[in-house]
Amino acid sequence: MLLLLFLVTAYYCHGLPVNSPIAQSVENHISGGVSGKPNLDEDKLNKLLSDQEISSNVDFLSNRPGGKLEFPMFLRKSVEDYEKDAAVVLQQSFQDAEVTPGLFQGDIAGFSPEAYRLWRVGLRWDVFPERKWDNATVPYYISDKYSPTEKQIIQTAVHTLGLLTCVKFVPYEGNKTTDYLLIWPVTRPAGCWSFIGRLGGQQVLSLQQPDKTGPKCLGGPGKPMHEIMHALGIFHEQSRADRDAFVKFNEENAIQAFVHNFDKQSLENTTYQYEYDYNSIMHYGTHFFSSSRDKPTLVPIQKRAKIGQRDGISRLDCYKINVLYNCFDTPQNKAKYEAFCDILGI
């Protein structure tokens, strides 16, 4: 265990090259040495993604045929023109890449009525156990459209989550009956976004590539980790029912068409095992959906507290994933993963 902890610390803190002996040893620990490339027509896939229109209603995915591309239908308000105007404001302003018009809370795709009920009850996964990844195993494939440097950033995010938890991220081998995560630079809609939990079949997670305006989703492993945590089943921290005791929501500073993105979960249905986490990588920043650079939408009540960091998962983020996927199933595993979270969590 001490050797593994040393390897984890070295990789997490220093970003060892993927092809180094130590990093390769760590990667084998995560993936079990599984390798392979899916048999996908990536040009066709990209065209399907590019041609996809954003839905003007709440008509969500109903089919899950193995191997067929399934693309999210995005939640939109019924007053379509008003939403389009607000979307233009967002697209032309200073918004974070995690803020995408038409997506629930800016970066959550495919938010069906079922998913909304799941969100309402927070971390009570006993209500929807099928949305967790079977055997804590997530097959994944990173698009070749990413550059080697961009792939390295994404791999660092994947490896970090695999090292700090019992979740196993394994390369997708092309089996059409396998549920897997397809990490892809979707252009319509662009941005950083994900589904919540496992959907079944091919599941898209979008990470926008850098452009002339900035790094977008790939300035470091933080934003990829945020979206992968959504795919694992973790919600935004500021959605908690007890949020108002910890942060002040300045509704007047938000773009009014997007105020609903600050809705809280249902108090009577939600249970929280851990205290509110200002440090969470799943927390909004101070200016998400803000109408102006000088108008914060969320302000921490605790003095000197900061929100919105994307440097790495917090200690409590780490605990939540381990609890969700039953990583504390034995005293030995509990001691091991708690140590990883305590030492390496932000």
Indicate which residues carry an active-site annotation: 227
Q: Which residues contact 191 (CB under 8 A, 6 or more apart)?
A: 97, 98, 99, 100, 103, 107, 206, 208, 216, 217
DSSP states along 177-244: TS-EEEEE---TT-SEEB-SS--SSEEEEEEPPPBTTB-TT-SSSHHHHHHHHHHHT---GGGSTTGG
Beta bridge pairs of residue 248: 299
Rounded distance, CA 238 to CA 284, Å? Answer: 7
CB 235 within 8 A of CB 281: no
Q: Is 14 annotated as a binding residue?
A: no
Beta bridge pairs of residue 169: 138
Rounded distance, CA 54 to CA 146, Å? Answer: 24
Q: Which residues contact 290 (CB under 8 A, 6 or more apart)?
A: 95, 253, 254, 255, 296, 297
CB 302 within 8 A of CB 246: yes
**Pick from 140, 139, 145, 141: which is nearest to 46 by CA?**
145
Strands of the 168-171 sheet, one edge to the other: 168-171, 137-142, 180-184, 202-207, 192-193
At 23, give phi and psi (nearest 5°): -60, -40
CB 205 within 8 A of CB 196: no
Q: Which residues are annotated as a binding site for Zn(2+)?
A: 226, 230, 236
Q: Which residues are annotated as a binding site?
A: 226, 230, 236
